[in-house]
Amino acid sequence: MLIGALEAGGTKMVCALGNENGTILEQVSIPTTTPEETVEQIVRYFKDKDIKALGVAAFGPVDVKPQSPTYGRILDTPKLAWRHFDFLGALKKELDVPMGLDTDVNGSCLGEMTYGCAQGLDSAIYITIGTGVGVGVCAGGKLLHGMLHPEGGHILLARHPEDPEGGICPYHPNCLEGFASGPSIERRWGKKAVELVDKPEVWELESYYIAQALVNYIMILSPQKIILGGGVMHQEQLFPMIREKVREMIGGYLNTTELADLDHYIVPASLHDDQGIMGCIKLGLDALC
């Protein structure tokens, strides 16, 4: 049985085929241009593949509530051509199969919960730190939506006393995305993260902001595991720094089995950057139920 998987990003759309075991059989990348051009290419890829369902994990904000009159639409995105575009409706018009939809980061969280390092748990968060910052949340065995879906990249943080620049988010002067995203690193230090590996002051600041955010998520969501992905987190020297700062910031207030073993609690993504596509496969499988 073939399941279609669509990881719909603001820069590229990854179209893939998988099976009920979560195995990715093939995948292609399509540039994200206008909605009309992009959907045409997506449909062309899937049209003759005999897929039984399609799972879509989309950039947002996106309406993920099936009971909503705007379900499946991209909402107030800064990508103006996509604003209020009926993405899921356009796909359903051309592809007559059951479809599941969630956010891109919820899709990655689902991939890790189903096939990766969070298997067997009923709560975890997946955080991607790259061009932007997004947070996918699974709580009580279900992906969290609420009034819309989590926008955990925009939680407000205290500015580091040695941060000369501050945040770059146009909406919030002191949010996680504005402080810690790849573009924030580049503006603060004048180079991309991959060019700053040997600059400890860069990672001291970065780990401070990420750790501060993680403590907030721990206190509010009480996840059983925290998974960090995205381009910035390829800088693996960050992990021990983040863990140590989380320990310091919690200050002994919580004492749990998970927090006593931070090496296995705050972890890198485990599916070789395929967690998003694998989450899409699971969304497609769930749409068949």
Question: Which tens digits make up the pLDDT trace of 205-241?
Answer: 999 999 999 999 999 999 999 999 999 999 999 999 9
Question: Which tens digits make up the pLDDT trace of 79-124?
Answer: 899 999 999 999 999 999 999 999 999 999 999 999 999 999 999 9
Domains identified in the chain and CATH numbers: 2-107+273-287 (3.30.420.40), 117-268 (3.30.420.40)
pLDDT at 165 over 90: no
Share of the chain above pLDDT 70, in %: 100
Strand partners, 14: 7, 29
Instruction: Report, in angstroms and rounded to the nearest whole number, the Rg of the chain calculated over CA atoms.
Output: 19
Q: What are phi and psi of 56, to 5 degrees?
A: -125, 125
Question: Which tens digits make up the pLDDT trace of 20-45?
Answer: 999 999 999 999 999 999 999 999 99
pLDDT at 191 over 90: yes
DSSP structural state of residue 261: G
Segment 243-270 shows an average pLDDT of: 98
User: Token digits for 167?
Assistant: 């945040």
- Going by pLDDT thresholds of 50, 70 and 90, the confidence category of residue 168 is very high
DSSP structural state of residue 222: -
Buried b (16+ CB within 10 A) or exposed e, 96-119: ebbbbbbbbbbbbbbbbbbbbbbe
pLDDT at 164: 79
Region label for 97, one of left (φ > 0), alpha (ψ between -120 and 50) or beta (otherwise): beta
CA dist 191 and 235 (Å) reads: 14
CA dist 127 and 252 (Å) reads: 24
CA dist 79 and 33 (Å) reads: 10
pLDDT at 110: 98
Which residue, 118, 115, 130, 209, is CA-closest to 162?
209
User: Token digits for 236?
Assistant: 């693996």
Segment 143-168 shows an average pLDDT of: 93
Rounded-to-10 torsion of CA 216, 222, 223, 226: 30
pLDDT at 78 over 90: no
Alpha helices in 8-83 (DSSP H): 35-46
- Going by pLDDT thresholds of 50, 70 and 90, the confidence category of residue 166 is confident
**Secondary structure class of 25 (helix, strand, coil):** strand
